[in-house]
Chain A
Amino acid sequence: MENVLEAKNVNVFYGDFQALKNINMKFKKNAVTALIGPSGCGKSTYLRLFNRMNDYIDSFNMQGDIMVENKNIYNKEIVVEELRKKIGMVFQKPNPFPKSIFENVAYGLKIQGVTNKAVLKNAVRKALQQAALWDEVKLDLDKSALALSGGQQQRLCIARTLAVEPSIILMDEPTSALDPIATAKVEELIRELKQKYTIIIVTHNMQQASRISDYTAFFYMGEMIEYNKTDTIFTNPQHERTQNYITGRFG
């Protein structure tokens, strides 16, 4: 399988603090890659590098290259708004806009200048169907998104991301605020989405990583300790740290 994303010699600093230490990693296309590790190990920082969401942090400073389709996305000529249309993101807590369900999903297209009502309607339906939310909300698309349950809100956020038609989706602990049933739905969704999308997911939940991911990378104190097929990581880890973490001896 081909690689769609690559980190080359990446170092990240917040002021004097080094959050990531010399990371080198390649991500496979149409696969789910899980980033695991204890809190503060740098996995969220790492994830947010790929759509440049760290740019908003004042003390953020980065060295190295992040290659998407063989282009360094930290180059000066990269337009970050364009990049984010290709690389979508789903956040830890569901964060729908305080608008209607329809407006939430259509927003990404509207800001690109799409005004045709029929086109928007179609795109909204398609995205909601892909996110397995259509049947639950098709009758009240004009209802406020804030009236949905937490799990529905998170699937709405996924639909909102899909509507822009990205090729890569970043997920930052997308189920940490959800109950087990809603979590199961989102996990099932992720498994389906990987046929069309490349997914990178940060998770605290090791069962989740083993259930849904094809590849897993273990982070510890800003270093990438081990990266392999998920099966291998969970059955036959090469490093003692990884072994200790996945068996729950620390973390």
Chain B
Amino acid sequence: MNNSQINRLKDKTFNYFGIFCTLIGLVILAFFIGSIFYDGLRRIDWDFLTSLPSRKAEKAGILTAWVGSIWIVIFTFIIVVPLGISAGIYLEEYAKKSRLSSLIEVNISNLAGVPSIIYGLLSLEIFVRLFGMGNSILAGSCTLALLVLPIVIVATREALKAVPHSIRAASYALGASKWQTVWEQVLPASFGGILTGVILAISRAVGETAPLIVIGALLYVPFTPSSPMDEFTVLPIQIFNWISRPQHEFTTNAAAAIILLLLITFIMNGVAVYFRNKWQKKINW
């Protein structure tokens, strides 16, 4: 074999190796989803969605869990959006480049990597005890908002950075103030990117379990919450609860709940991708 044949062989070998690596992930995921659907799909019906939890598996429903998840999502959204976007705007558009600002930058990136249970412990002390929120929806939303805040800040900054400097210059040159420039030009132009970041952050929050367990979200809630100060449970905690039961029937319930949770995150990610594509098409610098 001469040199070029060896090189072609290497090429081919890596090609197949690459296909193998790609398939491993896909096959495992497909197997997982397949078995979940096999176990859980027949369990999903109207009763399952509208029933309260019960000691008997066949009677148990996930009404409180998905309603709790929706409460949590809405309040997390309300808390994290103004905080994250404002912080992103400040850091990208207003903050002068200094040691302090680069220190803050590094720390925000680091915060995104802190294990979620740490956020739970922090929130237990601050929101639940110090602020006296108890194990309420509000405390849970604050916890999750804190957890995904770095994601929103980083996404906002990236989206703002993608707006060409010439747009800002054009706005300033017409006599616009910084605030007008940011509000009228830069933010609308980066809206798609920011929205994508927010949706991805929220879909991460939907799936979080550990920090909510730490702050005292309940495993068994026989009522749907009616105010942000009520106690609550969420889908992943309900799944965790059912999985840990010894009776086999509860596993079916868990599979059904997992399908629902997957559906919610897939839809949210889908919406994020849709918005990203839509805005990218509209704005072609």
Considering the chains assembled together, what is the distance between the CA atoms of A8 and B134 in angstroms? 68
Tell me the bound Cα distance from A144 to B283 in angstroms: 9
Question: Which of B9-17, B174-182, B207-215 is the contact stretch?
Answer: B174-182
Contacts A95-B164, A98-B189 given: A51-B173 contact, CB under 8 Å? yes
Q: How many A residues are at the interface, by size bracket? A: 20 to 34
| Chain B residues with CB under 8 A of A96 | 170
Q: Flag whether B38 is at the interface (Cβ < 8 A).
A: no
Contact A144 B175 (CB under 8 A): no
User: Within the complex, which residue of A53, A82, A110, A146 is in contact with B173, where a contact is CB–CB below 8 Å?
Assistant: A53
B175 touches A164 (CB 8 A): yes
Give the total number of A-B pairs whose CB atoms are below 8 A apart.
Answer: 68
Q: Interface 1/0s, chain B 149-184, versus A by CB < 8 A? A: 000000000000000101101111111110010001
Flag if B284 contacts A108 (CB, 8 Å). no
Which B residue's beta carbon lies closest to that of A86? B175
Number of interface residues of B (CB under 8 A): 23
Chain A residues, Cβ within 8 Å of B175? 81-85, 108, 111-112, 164
B185: interface (CB < 8 Å): yes
Q: Is the CB of B166 within 8 A of A91?
A: yes
In-complex Cβ contact of A97 among B97, B170, B180 (8 A):
B170
B170 and A91 contacting across the interface, CB-CB below 8 Å: yes
When chains A and B are docked, how far (Å) is the Cα of A146 from the Cα of B176? Answer: 21
Looking across the interface, which residue of chain B has its beta carbon closest to that of A97?
B185
Judge whether A227 is part of the interface by a CB distance below 8 angstroms: no
A21 within 8 A of B: no
Given contacts A58-B97, A111-B175, A95 and B282 within 8 Å (CB-CB): no
Instruction: Assess the A93–B166 pair: CB atoms within 8 A.
Output: yes
Do A53 and B172 touch (CB < 8 A)? Answer: yes
Q: For the complex, what is the distance from the CA of A82 to the CA of B97, rounded to whole Å?
A: 27
Residue of A nearest to B279 (CB): A98
B167, B174, B283, B285: the one contacting A84 at CB < 8 Å is: B174
Q: Which residues of A contact B188 (CB under 8 A)?
A: 98-99
CA distance A98 to B200 in the complex (A): 25
Please tell me if the beta carbons of B184 and A84 are within 8 angstroms of each other in the complex.
no
Nearest neighbor of A163 in chain B, beta-carbon distance: B174
Contact with A146, one of B96, B169, B284 (Cβ below 8 angstroms): B284
Mark interface residues in B252-285 (1 if CB within 8 Å of A CB, else 0): 0000000000000000000000000000001111
Most chain A CB within 10 A, of B167, B173, B188, is at B173
Q: Are A53 and B166 in contact (CB under 8 A)?
A: no
With A58-B97, A91-B166: A98-B282 Cβ-Cβ less than 8 Å: yes
CB distance A111 to B174 under 8 Å? yes
**Identity of the chain A residue whose Cβ is nearest the Cβ of B283 in the assembled complex:** A98
Name the A residues within 8 Å of B170 (CB-CB): 91, 95-97, 157, 160
Let me know if B174 and A91 touch, CB within 8 A: no
Residues of B within 8 A of A85 (CB): 174-175
Complex Cα–Cα for A96 and B189 (A): 12
* CA–CA, A161 and B169, complex, Å: 13
Give the docked Cα–Cα distance between A96 and B173 (Å).
12
For the complex formed, measure the closest distance between the CB of A13 and the CB atoms of chain B, giving whole angstroms. Answer: 19
Question: For residue B172, which residues in chain A have a CB less than 8 angstroms away from its CB?
Answer: 53, 56, 84
B 178-212 binary contact with A (CB < 8 Å = 1; else 0): 00100011001100000000000000000000000
A175 and B213 alpha carbons, distance in the complex (Å): 63
Give Cα A96 to B185, complex, Å: 11
A-B residue pairs in contact (CB < 8 Å), sample of 7: A81-B175, A81-B177, A88-B174, A98-B188, A98-B283, A161-B173, A164-B175
